Amino acid sequence: MRFIDRVRIQVRAGDGGDGAVAWRREAHVPKGGPAGGDGGDGGDVVLVADAQLATLLDLKYRQHHHAPSGRPGGGAGKNGRGGETLEVHVPLGTAVYYEGEATGHGERPPWLDDETPDETPEGISVEPDGEGMDNVWIVDGEEVEAPGQAGEPAEAEADPERVELIELGAPAEVVAIGETISGGAQRRHMRRGTGRSRRREEPRSYERGDLICDLDADGERLTIARGGRGGRGNVHFRSSTNRAPDRAEAGTEGEGMWLRLELKLLADVGIVGYPNVGKSTLISAISRARPEIGAYPFTTLVPQLGVVSLPGDTYERTMVVADVPGLVDGASEGRGLGHEFLRHLERTRVLLHLLAPDPTPGRELLRDLDALEGELRRYGPMFEGRPRVVALNKIDTTEGQELIKATRRALRKRNIPLFPISAVTGEGTDALLEALWRRLQLADRARGT
C-alpha cells in the first residue's frame, strides 16, 4: 500500500432545475392560467470530517464528486425535486486547497500544467450522477423525454382533479433569476442561464493554491460547492397585464471546482531510525504495507502507512504505523529529507526508535539514539513527553545478537526497556506490538479519550 497524503478531486454541485411553462386546461375553460412549476435546487457538495477515516486513499480512487441536479418543474404547478446533498467524507486533519475551476469531460485539469506526470492522480473517475439538464416535455397530453435527455416526471403538488390536460412548453426567452420579463415568441428549447452572478450568495473567489479550510473536528462540515438555484415556473409571472406568461426561469449552474486535499500523516506510531535499520522491512512484516526495501540508505522517500491488527477476541485492536524516510543528522535544519520527515511524525502519538547494527564499524547504537532525540528536540517541542519505545532490529545476525546484552544494559540505566526483534524472521515483533499498543492506550488515557 502506498500512503497517499495528497489527492485531487473535482467537486460539482447540482444545477438548478428549470422552471416550466405549462397551462392549465380545466373543464369548460379553453385555456386556463399558467401552471408551470419551479425547478428544484441542485444538491450541494459537502465535505465532512470523519474520525473513522485514517487516509485519503478512498478519494484516490474516486476523483469526481457530483451532486445531483434539481429536477425541472412540471405542469399543474408541480415543482421539481431538489438534488440531494452529496457528502464527501475526509479524515480529520484534512486541509482543503483550491486548485481551479471545474473542467468538463476530457478537458485538462488546471493543476496538470505544472505537475510532473508522476504526480497525476490515478484512479477510476466515476461519472457524475444526475449531471446536465433533465427535462420533460408534455406534448399533446403525452409525456416524452426531451431530445437527448433522460427525464423523470416532477412530483405532483397541484390538485389533479382540477386539471385535465397539461401542455408544457418552453419559454421564448429564459430569463436569469431576478430579471424582469419582457415579450418574445415561444420557442421549443431552453437556454441554460449560467446564473453565475445571481446566486443567493456572492460567489466565493479563490486563487489557485488558496487554503479554503482545515477540517479538524469530527463531524465538521464544509459546504464546498453550492447547488444551483431552481428557476421559477410561469405560474409566478402572471400579472394584470399578462395573464398568459410564456416564460419561466432557467435553473442556475451549480458551483464546481478542483480541490487538493492534504493530510498530515495521522499515524499512531511513527518509526524513527537511521537509514537502513529496517523500518520498511518491519512495517511490511507487521502490516500489509509493501514499501520498497533496499540494502542501501534512503530507499524510502515517501511516508508509508501500515495498518496493524493485533490479535484479540473481545474488541478490535488496530493501529496505524508510519514508516517515514530515514532521519539523518541535521534533519531538524532540513538536511536530507529532514523537515518533510519530521512533519510527518508530528501527529504520531508514540515513537518507535529502531536501532540496528551498522555495517560502519565504530558506530554506537546509543549515540544513534541520542542523535535522533537531539534532532527531534531541535525541530520543536511537540515530541516532548511523547511515549517512546526502543527496539533493536536484525537480531538474527551475529552482530545483532552480540549487541543485545550491552544495549539492554545501557538502556536500563536510563530506565528504558529494549525490545530485540528481527523484522526478517519475525522474532520479538509480537512483544513489540503489544508494548506499542499499551503505550497508545496510556497516551489515550492521558488525553482523556
For ligand GTP, the binding residues (CB under 6 A) are 273, 275-281, 293-295, 297-300, 326, 393-394, 396-397, 422-424
356 is in an annotated binding site: no
Judged by CB under 5 A, the chain residues 27 through 56 that form the site for Mg ion are: none
228 neighbors 41 (Cβ within 8 angstroms): yes
Query: Least separation, in Å, of the C-beta of 358 and ligand GTP?
Result: 11
Residue type, 425: T
Name the pairing type of β-strands 221-225 and 45-50.
Answer: antiparallel
Q: Which is nearer to ligand GTP, 80 or 336 (CB)?
A: 336
298 is in an annotated binding site: yes
228 neighbors 252 (Cβ within 8 angstroms): yes
Would you count residue 234 as binding Mg ion (CB under 5 A)?
no
3-state secondary structure of 187: strand
325 is in an annotated binding site: yes
| Total residues binding Mg ion (CB under 5 A) | 4
332 is in an annotated binding site: no
Q: What nine digits make up the cell of 270?
A: 511513527
Residue 422: name its binding partner from Mg ion, ligand GTP, none (Cβ under 5 to 8 Å by kind): ligand GTP
CA-based torsion, 148, 154, 158, 163: positive or negative = positive
Q: What nine digits make up the cell of 83?
A: 438534488
> DSSP for 373-427?
HHHHHHH-GGGTT--EEEEE--TTSHHHHHHHHHHHHHHHHTT--EEE--TTT-T
> DSSP for 84-115?
PPEEEEEETTEEEEEEEE---TTPPPGGGGGS
98 is in an annotated binding site: no
* Residue whose cell numbers read 499499551: 438
Query: Least separation, in Å, of the C-beta of 287 and ligand GTP?
Result: 13
Q: Which is nearer to Mg ion, 234 or 300 (CB)?
A: 300
Query: With CB under 5 A as the contact rule, which of the stretches 129-137, 199-207, 259-267, 293-301 interacts with Mg ion?
Result: 293-301
166 neighbors 24 (Cβ within 8 angstroms): yes
45 is in an annotated binding site: no
Would you count residue 300 as binding Mg ion (CB under 5 A)?
yes
Give CA–CA dist 205/420, Å, rounded: 56
Give CA–CA dist 326/336, Å, rounded: 8
For residue 187, what are the β-bridge partners?
Answer: 170
Q: What nine digits make up the cell of 286?
A: 507487521
Query: Least separation, in Å, of the C-beta of 280 and Mg ion?
Result: 3
393 is in an annotated binding site: yes
Query: Least separation, in Å, of the C-beta of 54 and ligand GTP?
Result: 21
Q: What x/- string results for residues 261 through 280 when contact with Mg ion is judged by CB under 5 A?
A: ------------------xx
Q: Which is nearer to ligand GTP, 135 or 304 (CB)?
A: 304
Q: What nine digits make up the cell of 280?
A: 520498511
Query: Least separation, in Å, of the C-beta of 419 and Mg ion?
Result: 19
Residue 69: name its binding partner from Mg ion, ligand GTP, none (Cβ under 5 to 8 Å by kind): none
Residue type, 419: F
Query: Least separation, in Å, of the C-beta of 57 and ligand GTP?
Result: 21
394 is in an annotated binding site: yes
Binding site membership for GTP: which residues?
Answer: 273-280, 298-302, 323-326, 393-396, 422-424
- Which residues of this protein are in contact with Mg ion, per CB under 5 A? 279-280, 299-300
Binding site membership for Mg(2+): which residues?
Answer: 280, 300
Binding site membership: which residues?
Answer: 273-280, 298-302, 323-326, 393-396, 422-424
